[in-house]
């Protein structure tokens, strides 16, 4: 049976998961020390849904989420939106290849995305700061995001399996 690609109650689940991830990114950590490092939950969630159901996180939602995160977090507005959109653009050509080769390759496919996003953020912020900023925080954030991705994918995959509309559409 062909699955409708229209919006349904289940189709807001990817959006809600992305909003939750953005909120978690903004929450103060228990150890709120300067340079306290944390993974980028929003990037991990957007990567997952872009691979499995890109139609439920279209570019305009990535733009809105990214811009909101920047403005709420005091970052230059447009930076996170640009990162998410460029990552999506890159993943368009890799997506089918990654899906054919299973979960592990999907996980490792995150690495070049993190590299692209990290270099972009570091570059733009260094230009705005008028000098090269330390690279270590970017590398650490990318490493943490890469490390937590399997857990994140497991959780989101659980959601994907429990929602028949999403699951059937993902097969196709």
Partner 1 sequence: MMSRPGWHGPRLAAQLRSLVDRLGLGLLVGLSVTLLLLGKADLRVAALASAGLGDVAAPVLGFFRGPVVAVRSAFDRVGAVLAVNEENARLREENRRLLAWQVEAARLAVQNRALQRMLKVPLVDHPATWLTARIVGDSGGSFVQALLLDAGADQGIAVGMPATTPEGLVGRVIEVGRRSARVLLITDFNSRIPVVVESSGDHAILEGDNSLLPRLRFLPMNPGFAVGDRVLTSGRGGVLPPGLMVGRIEEADNGKVRVRSHVDWSRLDYLSLLQTVGTPLPDAATPPPATVSPGS
Q: How far is the CB of 37 from partner 1 (least distance, A)?
A: 7
Nearest-5° angle of CA 63, CA 142, CA 149?
80
Task: Give residues 42-61 in contact with partner 1 (rule: CB under 8 A).
Answer: 58-60
Q: What is the distance of C-alpha 49 from the center of its chain?
A: 8
The three-class DSSP label of residue 143 is helix
Residue 98 binds partner 1, judged by CB under 8 A: no
Residue 72 as a binder of partner 1 (CB under 8 A): the answer is: yes
Binding flag, residue 172, partner 1 (CB under 8 A): no
Applying the rule CB under 8 A, the residues between 115 and 134 that interact with partner 1 are: 121-122, 124-125, 128-129, 133-134
CA distances from 60 to 66, 128, 138, 159 (A): 10, 26, 26, 23
Q: Which distant-in-sequence residues (6+ apart) come within 8 Å of 33 by Cβ?
A: none
Binding to partner 1 (CB under 8 A): which residues in 129-168? Answer: 129, 133-134, 137-138, 140-141
In a 3-state reduction of DSSP, which class is residue 43? helix
**Pick 42 or 163: Cβ nearer partner 1:** 42
Taken as a whole, the chain contains a residue count of 172
Work out the burial of residue 38: count CB atoms within 10 Å of its CB; fewer than 13 is exposed, 13-18 middle, 19 or more buried: middle
Q: How far is the CB of 63 from partner 1 (least distance, A)?
A: 5
Task: Kindly list the residues in this chain that would bind partner 1 in the complex (CB under 8 A).
Answer: 22-37, 58-60, 62-63, 66-69, 71-79, 81-82, 85-86, 88-89, 121-122, 124-125, 128-129, 133-134, 137-138, 140-141
């Amino acid at each position: 049976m062909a699955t409708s690609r229209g919006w349904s109650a289940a189709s807001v689940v990817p959006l809600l998961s992305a909003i939750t991830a953005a909120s978690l990114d903004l929450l103060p950590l228990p150890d709120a020390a300067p340079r306290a490092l944390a993974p980028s939950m929003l990037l991990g969630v957007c990567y997952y849904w872009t691979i499995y159901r890109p139609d439920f996180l279209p570019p305009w939602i990535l733009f809105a989420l990214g811009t909101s995160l920047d403005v709420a977090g005091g970052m230059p507005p447009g930076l996170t939106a640009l990162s998410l959109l460029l990552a999506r653009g890159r993943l368009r050509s890799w997506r089918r290849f990654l899906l054919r080769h299973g979960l592990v390759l999907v996980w490792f496919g995150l690495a070049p995305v993190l590299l692209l996003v990290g270099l972009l953020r570091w570059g733009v912020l260094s230009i705005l700061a008028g000098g090269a900023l330390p690279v270590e925080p970017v590398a650490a954030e990318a490493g943490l995001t890469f490390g937590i991705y399997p857990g994140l994918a497991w959780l989101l995959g659980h959601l994907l399996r429990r929602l028949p509309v999403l699951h059937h559409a993902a097969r196709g």
